[in-house]
Structure formats: C-alpha cells, structure tokens
A and B are shown apart, each in its own frame.
Chain A
C-alpha cells in the first residue's frame, strides 16, 4: 500500500494554486495590474483592494496574480533549457565509451564554474536585461546538475537486463536511448525539474533585486520586492506580499520535488 505522502500533497496543492492563479489572471484580475492611477496610491488593504495598492496606485493582488505568470514563465524557460540540453547530455554520457563520456562530464563540470548569477549578469550585459535572457542564463547554469543526475540514472538503466538484451539483439543506440533509457529516467527528470524550478524562481528574485531581472512594467514578484524597499517602514505590506509569494512558490516546488522523489524511489536521494 502506498501512504499518502504529505510533501507531495502540500507541494502539489501549492503548485496547483499558482498555476490556477496564473491561468485566471489571463481572463480576470480585480484590476488592470499595470494601470497607473495616482489618485489611489498607497491604499491600505480593504474590501476593494485586498492587498492594498502600491505607489503607482496599482492593485497589489492583481500584480501578484499576473506576477505568478512571470514566475511560471521563469521556471519553465530555465528548466526547459536545462532539460533540453542536460537530459540528452546525461544519457549520452551514460551510453558512450569511457573517454568521450569522461570528456562530456568534464565539460559539464566546467560549466559548473560559471554560477547562475554570474552567467545571468554577463548575459544581461550582452543581450540587455530581460526575463528571457536571465532565464536562459539560469537554464544553462542548471544544465550540469541535470546532466549529472540523468547520467547516474541512465547508467543504472544501462545495466538492466532488458537493455543488455536489446544491445545483444543488435539494437542501435538511438532507439535504445529513446525506448528504454528515457522512459526510465522520466521520474528523475521530474524530480530535478521541480528542484530546478525552485532555484530559478529564487534566481529571478535575486536578479530583479540587482536590476538584471524582469524590466518594468511587467509585474514580477522579484521586482515588486525590490520596488517595495523604500516603503519598508511606511508600508511594509508592499514587501510582505511578494516576499511571501516567492517563499511559498519555492517551498511548493521543493516539496513537490521531495514528494516525487520519495514516491518514485525512496532510495534515490539526491547525491549530485
């Protein structure tokens, strides 16, 4: 019997709520999240503005809702880039002979020497600060961890009897990779994706804080936090709402990752 895993449930619910919030924000928000209305600036939370308004008179709740789109976009792009490069690299490294495999993993390690923030700052300087460039940089920086995890998983799969049988039967490497290895590492991919998602959300917040993140006026939790700084004493709520939103989102994706890991294989702890 499988017990209901609390991490999985809580994580799943949080992520579900964020996705739902993002979807709803496409069709409805209480107010236009980017409309500047000087007359209603810095309002306290009330029935008409649940989370109050910011210095531009924009509704904070609407911004949090639309901001969840940015957060999801950030995660999807970063994880997408990391997975599209990292997964094939990991499988390849597991399937080829010792020397090329070693070379791939060494190149992979080299990439580790360029941490996400460093890459993002450099990319921002070259291509201009935007959510997309920052996220591609963070995605590239997340490739090594993907490749490593997938490689170790794929190595295990390569030793299973059915793969050995397939190889003995003269199957070509590509079909083996697609038909046998990939399906057997999907659980690893999901877990890693979830963890990387959380890292990407944190990175976007840090970059926005440094001014290399999402440019205005696109609502982003990271930038909301940065803009709220001068109100830390007069209107701390402006920092509290996006701060909590970021923390909950990261928590959700981390819990989801943990829960998935436990569910798929309790022994497969992340060793990196």
Chain B
C-alpha cells in the first residue's frame, strides 16, 4: 500500500509539472477543479500542531498560534526573513533608506490581489500601517510607535517616515504587525481573514482544525498543495499517535521529545532538528531583595548543570545558550562559558551572599517543558543549598496574572519565543523587573546605529545580561519536526512567527 502510494505521488508530480508551465504563462485560471494550476495538483496535506488559536484576529488577540497559521500563508508582509534570518523582499520588490536613516521608500509589486478580489496597492499598505496604531490592541503594536507618517507616492510606491532611526522597525515589519490588510477586508478578522498570500482561509472546525486552500490567483509562485489542514492536539502523545496512524503527515512541533525514538528508528519518517527563537528562561524576579545580590544570581546559574538538565528534561534536544540570543541572530556569540557549572563555587557564593538556606518560589506555568525542567532545577538548586518550592500555575490565565502582571514570584520558567526579544524581556517594566541603565544604553545605540553598530552593541548587551546573571538560559527550544519521508520543504530552523506552508511539497 505504501509503495503504490509513492508511485501515484510521483506520477502526479510529473504530469502536474507540465501543466504548471502552461498555468504560469497564461496567468492562473480560476479554481478549475483544483488540478492543473500547480505542481501538486489537488494533493492534500495535514499538519499536526499543539496550540489552537483562540481567534483568527492577531490584531486584538495575542498568542503565537494565530500568526503561526496565517502570517505568510494568508497575510503577507512588505518584507520577510529568509531561512538565514536576512530581510528579503516580499510584497515590496525593493526599498531604499534615506541617508538620515529615517525615510524608507518601498517599491511594491503590481500584481498582488487580495482574496476579496481587490488589487493590493500602496494605499492598502498605508491603511495597514496606520491601523496598527489605531485599531490594534495587542501589546506588540508598540513596535509601530516609531512611525511618524506613511504615504502612498503612487499605487506601487510607499514612503514611511520614522520619528528616529530604528533598525528594529524594518525587522518588526517582517512579523505580524507588518501584515498587509485590505481596506475592505477587515470587517470580520476573527473569522474571515482576507490577505494576498499563497493560501486562502477556508474553514475552521473549532477545537479541531483549520483548513486552508491554495490561492489560485496568487501573484507569486503557487504552492504545491491544493489543501492544507492544520490539526490541533492538546496532548503530545495523541499528536504522535496521529502521525503513526497516518491521520496527519507532519508533526509541526514535537512536544514529547522522549517519544522521538519511535520515529527515528522507522524509515517511514524523517526527523528534522534545528533551532528556534524560543529561549527557555529561568527568570528571576530582580526586584526581590534576594536577587539584588549578583552573587546569588551567579550562584544559581553555576549550580545548574545545563547539559545534564537538557538531557534529563528535554531528551537532550535543544541547544545550550548562555544569553538571550538564538544562534540565528547576527549578533550571536557562544556565551555558555560565562557561568559554567561549578557546584562548589555556587555553594560558596550562596554562603557569601547569605542566600543559602532561603526558600525560593518557583512558579511554573502548566507547560510540558516548564513542568519537566522545573523539577530538575529544583533538585539542582537544592544541592547547592537553596530551598525551592514549586507552584504550578495554569497557563495562560493564572500564570499571566500572577507572574507576568503582578510579578508575584521569585523564579519561573518560560520560553520567550518572540524574535529578537532581548530588550523587551529585560527591562524594569517587564516581569523580570530588570532595571539596568547600562543595558538600555547598549540597546538604544543598537537600534539607532548602522548595521555594524547594531551588531556590536547587541553583542555587548547579550554579554552584559549573561555576566549580570539577569536570568538563567536553560536552553534553546529545538525546532523538532517529524514528517512522512516524502514531504519536502520543511524548515530546518523555525525563526519566524509563521509556519511557511507555501514551500511544502511531496
């Protein structure tokens, strides 16, 4: 059965490839029964993911699940990141930056169309950028505050003026706040998203799956699959079982790394392992007296044997990092040597700071990696002479209120998955309560300087955090994907907010 399926799949690719040529030259036809407009014909794919979106509207609802499904697939941005993290054209063919680094001029593609039939123009871009300030409610919209004005110079030319130079702004335009909306397509964002992307939103079976179909009018190269279903599983084991029984073809994010062995030992499947932006942070509440002492913070970092921890609680999958920077960022440096595991030194530091014997509350969100690694952290810190009391807080609601909003905690464990989030996480207003003018100085210099200055200052910032032991970076979450052997185009590193469906093929 398996082999016959393969042969059929190959035949599809061969015949459809010829048709794709005609489709490209003629401009694409309307749906036309599904086959013929793309190399994949009417092939379908099903991907298993873990967190179902609460809504489809990422302008008013926070959470990683919505952009994961929609960004790049349904909505597109002016610029996007390629696999190596470089900013490359998308809806903007090219762009120029003025010498004072405050004015950006984008040349837009002229053949992009929204799925409601409207042409994409510079006016839509202006509308979308302005709308972030006026209609968006999620906190991430703050990245657009730096924009002073935006205007359409022509239907295909957009000019954006910033209040001050900002390297970060262009990068943020690759994330969800850079999504381009149609002026007449924002009436029902929560249920009916309208974008220019390679896929059209088709159906949402709440509690189960989101179905997308190929946008046959897409302006760029058309995706392979005619239909892709994103199926959501709350339980990691159920997700694995679904792949084992061919209910799905891909596990988008493996949540039970220990169970990987059943796939690695089976040649029906491929396992992809790369990096993400998800720094698993053992966060300290830096406003608590006990954490005011640098020696205590350093001692905690030294008391943790990170290699053993990773092996124990996440099956050794992931990468050890010594600061808040993933290896795919341009300013990454290996800082794992700043506070190496040294139990004896940790003990003496704790004695010196007077923290030995004190009880710290480790308030964990109910997430698999936090529950698992929290128990290892507790055991390791207790061997260094601290007492650790674990509380579990229901994620998201209870954890967000208690730890995030009220900062009523000593330590917690959470993966910060937003890209380039060093500055956002370590400041006095955030739950880390980390007040450090030196760090802020580096960050400001990085944002306003040229590219070399940015890299240089971000490196300094990352090292500063590590040396000051503002938190402890347990490890970087791996990008773990398991899929049927014949699926191509899966990303090695998951460094963007979206799961790119357009490159997938069979």
Q: What residues of chain A have their CB less than 8 Å away from a CB belonging to chain B?
A: 34-36, 38-39, 41, 55-57, 124-125, 128-129, 211, 215-217, 229-234
Contacts and interface: CB of A to CB of B under 8 A. Distances in A.
Given A125-B398, A129-B366, A129-B392, A232 B237 contact: yes
Contacts of B311: 38, 41
B259 interface: yes
B258 interface: yes
A102 to B, nearest CB: 40
Interface stretch (B35-43, B115-123, B139-147, B372-380): B372-380
Contact of B236 (A34, A55, A229, A233): A229
A57 B262 CA distance: 21
Contacts of A234: 258-259, 261-262
A124 B394 CA distance: 9
Contact of A229 (B256, B257, B305, B378): B256
Given A34-B379, A36-B380, A216-B374, A128 B393 contact: yes
Nearest to A233: B262
A57 B312 contact: yes
Contacts of B156: none
A208 to B, nearest CB: 11
Given A229-B237, A233-B259, A55 B390 contact: no
Nearest to A57: B312
Contacts of B374: 216
Nearest to B380: A36
Contact of B258 (A35, A216, A231): A231
Contacts of A232: 237, 259
Interface in B359-393: 366, 371-372, 374-376, 378-380, 390-393
Given A36-B379, A38-B312, A129-B366, A215 B259 contact: no
Given A128-B391, A229-B236, A36 B312 contact: yes
B148 interface: no
A216 B366 CA distance: 11
Contacts of B313: 55-56
Interface string B383-422: 0000000111110011000000000000000000000000
A216 B371 contact: yes
A128 B365 CA distance: 11
A55 B393 contact: no
Contact of A217 (B237, B240, B378, B393): B378
A56 B378 CA distance: 12
A69 B309 CA distance: 28
Interface of B: 235-237, 240, 256-259, 261-262, 305, 308-309, 311-313, 315, 366, 371-372, 374-376, 378-380, 390-394, 397-398
Nearest to A235: B258
Contacts of B256: 229-230
Given A41-B312, A229-B256, A230-B256, A215 B262 contact: no
B391 A215 contact: yes
Contact of A56 (B376, B397, B398): B376
Contacts of B305: 38
Contact of B375 (A41, A56, A128, A233): A56
A228 to B, nearest CB: 10
Contacts of A216: 371, 374-375, 390, 392
B163 to A, nearest CB: 43
B259 A230 contact: yes
A41 to B, nearest CB: 6
B313 to A, nearest CB: 8
Contacts of B397: 125
B269 to A, nearest CB: 13
Contacts of A125: 394, 397-398
Contacts of A217: 375, 378, 390
Contacts of B394: 124-125, 128-129, 211
B379 A35 contact: yes
Contacts of B371: 216
Contacts of A57: 312
A87 B460 CA distance: 69
A234 to B, nearest CB: 5
Contacts of B261: 233-234
23 contacts: A34-B375, A36-B312, A36-B376, A36-B380, A38-B305, A38-B312, A56-B376, A125-B394, A125-B397, A125-B398, A128-B392, A128-B393, A128-B394, A129-B392, A211-B366, A215-B392, A216-B390, A229-B236, A230-B236, A230-B237, A230-B240, A230-B256, A231-B259
B224 to A, nearest CB: 32
A117 to B, nearest CB: 16
Of B262, B309, B312, the most chain A CB neighbours within 10 A belong to: B312
A267 B405 CA distance: 60
A36 B259 contact: no
A152 to B, nearest CB: 40
Contacts of A230: 236-237, 240, 256-259
A232 B379 CA distance: 25
A137 to B, nearest CB: 15
Nearest to A214: B392
Given A215-B391, A230-B259, A233-B262, 7 more contacts: A34-B379, A55-B315, A129-B366, A216-B374, A229-B236, A230-B258, A231-B258
A235 to B, nearest CB: 9
Contacts of A124: 394
A230 B375 CA distance: 17
Nearest to B307: A38
B425 to A, nearest CB: 25
Contacts of A41: 311-312
A82 B375 CA distance: 33
Q: Which 4 A-B pairs have the closest CB atoms?
A: A36-B379, A230-B256, A215-B392, A38-B308
A99 to B, nearest CB: 43
B359 to A, nearest CB: 15
Contacts of A38: 305, 308-309, 311-312, 376
Contacts of B237: 229-230, 232
Contact of B312 (A34, A55, A128): A55
Nearest to B258: A230
Contacts of A229: 235-237, 256
A36 B308 CA distance: 10
A121 B352 CA distance: 45
A231 B374 CA distance: 19
A36 B380 CA distance: 8
B396 to A, nearest CB: 12
Nearest to B309: A38
Nearest to A232: B237
A234 B263 CA distance: 11
B364 to A, nearest CB: 8
A35 B388 CA distance: 13
A28 B240 CA distance: 39
A55 B308 CA distance: 12
B76 to A, nearest CB: 37
